[in-house]
Structure 1
Amino acid sequence: MTGLFQNIKGDKVIWAVVALLALFSFLPVYSASSNLVYVVGTGTTIGYLLKHAMLLFLGFGIIFAVHKIPTHFFKGLSIIAMPVVLVLLVYTLAQGTTIDGANASRWIRLPVVGISFQTSNLAAVVLMIYVARYLTKVKDKVVSFKESLLPLWVPVFLVIMLILPANFSTAAIIFFMVMVLCFMGGYPIKYLLGMVGAGIAMLCIFILLAKAVPDLIPNRIDTWVSRIESFWDPADTESDYQIEKAKIAIATGGIMGNGAGKSVMKNFLPQSSSDFIYAIIIEEYGLLGGLALLFFYMLLLFRIVVVANAHESIFGKLLVVGVGIPIVFQALINMAVAVELFPVTGQTLPLISSGGTSIWMTCLAIGIILSASIKREKKAEETVENDETNPLEILSGQL
Structure 2
Amino acid sequence: MKNIEGDRAIWAVVAILALFSIVPVFSASSNLAYINGGDGNTFSYVLKHLVHLSLGFALIYFFHRVPYHYFKGISMIMIPFVILLLVITLTQGTTIGGANASRWIFVPYVNLSFQTSSLASVVLLMYVARYLAKYKDKEISFKQSVFFLWIPVFFVTGLILPANLSTAALIFMMVIILAFIGQYPMKFIGYVIGISVAFLLIFGLTAKAFPDLFPNRVDTWISRIENFSEASGEEQYQVEKAKIAIATGGIFGQGAGKSVQRHFLPQSSSDFIYAIIVEEFGLIGGISVLLAYLFLFFRFTIVVVKSSSFYAKLLAIAVGLPIIFQALINMSVAVELIPVTGQTLPLISSGGSSIWMTCVALGVMLSVSKKSNRSEKTNDETEANESEENPLDVLSETV
- Give the TM-score band, short-chain normalised: over 0.9
- Please say which of residues 80-89 and 99-108 is displaced more in the overlay: 99-108
Residues 94 and 106, structure 2, Cα contact 8 Å, conserved in 1: no
Counterpart of 2:262, as a letter, is K
Matched AA of 2:383: E
- How far residue 144 of structure 1 moved from its aligned partner, in angstroms, is 2.0
Aligned CA RMSD, in angstroms, stands at: 2.4
Deviations 1:120-163 (A, max 9, x none): 00000000000000000110112221121100000000000000
Q: State the partner residue of 2:108.
A: 111
Q: Equivalent residues in 2 for 1:1-399 (5 A)? A: 5-38=1-34, 41-42=37-38, 44-99=41-96, 102-103=99-100, 105-217=102-214, 220-231=217-228, 240-375=236-371, 376=374, 382-383=383-384, 393-394=394-395
Question: 1:162 is paired with a residue of what secondary structure?
Answer: helix
- Any conservation in 2 of the 1:227–1:240 contact (CA below 8 Å)? no
Q: TM-score, normalised by structure 2?
A: 0.92
Please report how far the alpha carbon of residue 112 of structure 1 lies from its aligned counterpart in structure 2 after TM superposition. 3.6
- Alignment length (residue pairs): 391
Determine if contact 1:97/1:103 at 8 Å carries over to the other structure.
no
**Structure 1 unpaired stretches of 5+:** none
Match of 1:109, SS state, is strand
Q: Report the CA distance between 1:225 and its aligned residue.
A: 2.2
Deviation at 1:98, TM superposition (A): 3.3
Q: CA deviation at 1:230?
A: 1.5
Change (3 A) 1:326 1:35: same
Residue 229 of structure 1 and its aligned partner are, at CA, apart by 2.3
Displacement, 1:110? 2.3
Query: The residue matched to 1:318 in structure 2 has which SS?
Result: helix
1:386 positional shift:
7.4
Judging changes above 3 Å, is the alpha-carbon distance between structure 1 residues 159 and 92 closer, same or farther for their aligned structure 2 residues?
same
Which ranges of structure 2 fall in alignment gaps of 5 or more residues? Answer: none
Q: In 2 relative to 1, CA 318–238 (structure 1 residues): closer, same or farther, beyond 3 Å?
A: closer
Structure 1 residue 241: Cα displacement: 1.0
Q: Secondary structure at the match of 1:374?
A: helix
| Whole-angstrom distance in 1 between the partners of 2:277 and 2:146 | 45
Cα deviation, 1:59-116, whole Å, max 9, x if unaligned, reads 0000000000001000000111000000000000010443366445210112343231
Counterparts of 2:255 and 2:3, CA distance in 1: 38
| Structure-1 separation of matches of 2:283 and 2:174 | 29
User: Quick check: 2:104–2:115 contact (8 Å CA) kept in 1?
Assistant: yes
Q: Judging changes above 3 Å, is the alpha-carbon distance between structure 1 residues 385 and 65 closer, same or farther for their aligned structure 2 residues?
A: closer
How much has 1:392 moved relative to structure 2? 5.9
TM-score by length of 1: 0.92
Q: Distance between the aligned counterparts of 1:53 and 1:300, measured in 2?
A: 22
Aligned pair in 2 of structure 1 residues 373, 108: CA closer, same or farther (>3 Å)?
Answer: same
- In structure 2, relative to structure 1, the CA distance for the partners of 1:13 and 1:239 (3 Å cut) is closer
Q: Secondary structure at the match of 2:110?
A: coil
